[in-house]
Structure 1
């Protein structure tokens, strides 16, 4: 993947509960892949991983990513 330091740091953060991690950046930088790799590592370690996304909306939706993450629980 080419982002081993970032992947290690993200995974380490996810494995120390309670953890909330925000990943931000421009489109196409590989954020989704980075999160998927870290989430797979955390899940393999027995951690529950919830993921929420900031959807592009005309009007901002406060706590939208939190609602998105909790929707499936």
Structure 2
């Protein structure tokens, strides 16, 4: 992994942590704006890292709901 990708990944990880802690779900846009003024290459890599993390989080929530629904369905079938 190159320097830009490494920095982008770490910055995205830290941004997501701050977003979780503060509830500012669009903070990554502000960070992206700061990066855009300094380095388009880092901005693009950062936004890719953010999108990947947020997409994974969304997919994980979806799967967890499916698992919970399946377990509830099985439990309900076992009740008289």
Compute the TM-score of the two structures, normalised by the length of structure 1. Answer: 0.41
Greater helix content: 2
Could you say which structure has the larger radius of gyration? 2
TM-score normalised per structure 2: 0.39
Q: Which has the higher contact order (CA 8 A, sep 6+)?
A: 2
